[in-house]
């Protein structure tokens, strides 16, 4: 295991100033994905809690969803694009191998030429990895960063694979980071378990197995996952990691935190939250409507949770997935929708 832990000080704190999200308009029902995979709506809901998801249309790309989410986050924060000092896009489904999807997003947003923009691929942990990197880069500078999680997994799914096709949706979520008067993003932890890296894979399309008629015929461009082993990983590694993280950074005087987890599978998230002692009303879930949206799931869920958060609330962001990896962040919330209105 490799890991990284950081704690911010009050004098250089960076907080979340605004959130935004973007979901494609096309709603895909359980009947639609279940029929080719040979499963029913009842089977899907019982095993995953998912009732529908959104899939991108053929003319929609990751950069487009990411740009819309970022625009909404900037508007929510009241920060103009020309004041943005950094753009980071967490994705494992970029528009193309090159250029970075973040450069397209930066151009579409209208940020100043010369502003750094880059992609980060830590799969479903990607948003928290990107948030951690961006927070450290702008800490103490007075600058603003746009951090986006965006994925279009529908294009990597085997319609006949019931282990994967029923789980995933498409979407993007974003936050704006900037100077905080409070604690802001006050603790983070990143961990990778590379010995487990083959549990989730898209084997072809890179330098090891380049795209070819043979790789396409063999279905090597499809997303594959060992669901049972992934569940064991979450139970045995992610749960204890979150518990030790909270024990290290929460004090007796802190409010009971909210949990914004990766929306891997509704039943898995319910079990994880219950095992950690999170109250149902403090556990935020979007998986029932949107499915697992990869790196987008944490920021989408945070954007939906923002209406229920009040200044002073503590929020745990928990990403986990392919790599295998986990990214955790503790955030002191300091704004409200009503005030930002």
Active centre residues (catalytic): 124, 262, 292
Outline where DSSP puts E strands in the chain.
2-7, 14-22, 27-29, 52-54, 84-90, 117-120, 144-152, 170-179, 185-192, 200-201, 224-225, 258-261, 314-321, 325-332
Q: How far apart are CA 210 and CA 224, in angstroms?
A: 17
Q: Which residues, 6+ apart, have CB-to-CB distance to 28 below 8 Å?
A: 52, 53, 54, 55, 154, 169
CB 122 within 8 A of CB 93: no
CB 200 within 8 A of CB 168: no
Nearest to 165 by CA among 269, 22, 32, 271: 32
How far from each other are the two terminal CA atoms of the chain, in whole angstroms? Answer: 43
Strands 200-201 and 224-225: antiparallel
Please return the burial class of 235, using the count of CB atoms within 10 Å of its CB with bins 0-12, 13-18 and 19+.
middle
The pair phi, psi for residue 210, each rounded to 5°, is -60, 160
Q: How far apart are CA 75 and CA 68, in angstroms?
A: 11
Nearest to 93 by CA among 171, 179, 182, 34: 171
Q: Rounding to the nearest 10 degrees, give the CA dihedral for residues 280, 283, 289, 295.
A: -160
The pair phi, psi for residue 5, each rounded to 5°, is -130, 140
The pair phi, psi for residue 122, each rounded to 5°, is -125, 30
């Amino acid at each position: 295991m490799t890991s990284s832990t950081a704690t911010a000080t009050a004098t250089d704190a960076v907080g979340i100033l605004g959130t935004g999200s973007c979901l494609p308009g096309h709603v895909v029902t359980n009947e639609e994905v279940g029929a080719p995979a040979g499963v029913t709506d009842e089977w899907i809901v019982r095993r995953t809690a998912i009732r529908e998801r959104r899939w991108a249309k053929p003319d929609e790309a990751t950069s487009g969803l990411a740009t819309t989410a970022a625009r909404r986050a900037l508007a929510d924060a009241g920060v103009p694009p020309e004041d943005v000092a950094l753009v980071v896009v967490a994705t494992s489904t970029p528009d193309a191998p090159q250029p970075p999807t973040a450069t397209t997003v930066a151009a579409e947003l209208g940020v100043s030429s010369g502003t750094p923009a880059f992609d980060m691929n830590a799969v479903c942990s990607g948003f928290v990895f990107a948030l951690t990197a961006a927070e450290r880069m702008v800490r103490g500078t007075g600058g603003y960063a746009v951090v986006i999680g965006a994925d279009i997994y529908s294009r990597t799914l085997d319609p006949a694979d019931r282990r994967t096709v029923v789980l995933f949706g498409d979407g993007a979520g974003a936050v704006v980071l900037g100077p905080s008067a409070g604690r802001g993003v006050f603790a983070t932890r990143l961990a990778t378990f590379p010995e487990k890296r083959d549990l989730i894979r898209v084997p072809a399309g890179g330098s090891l197995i380049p795209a070819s008629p043979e790789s396409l015929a063999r279905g090597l461009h499809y997303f594959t996952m060992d669901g049972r082993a992934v569940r064991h990983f979450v139970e045995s590694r992610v749960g204890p990691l979150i518990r030790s993280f909270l024990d290290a950074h929460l004090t007796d005087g802190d409010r009971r935190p909210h949990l914004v987890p990766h929306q891997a599978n509704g039943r898995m998230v319910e079990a994880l939250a219950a095992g950690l002692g999170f109250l149902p009303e403090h556990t935020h879930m979007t998986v029932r409507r949107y499915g697992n949206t990869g790196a987008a799931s944490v920021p989408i869920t945070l954007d939906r949770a923002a209406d229920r958060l009040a200044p002073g609330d503590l929020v745990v962001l928990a990403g986990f997935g392919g790599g295998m990896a986990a990214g955790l962040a503790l955030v002191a919330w300091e704004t409200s929708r009503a005030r930002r209105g």
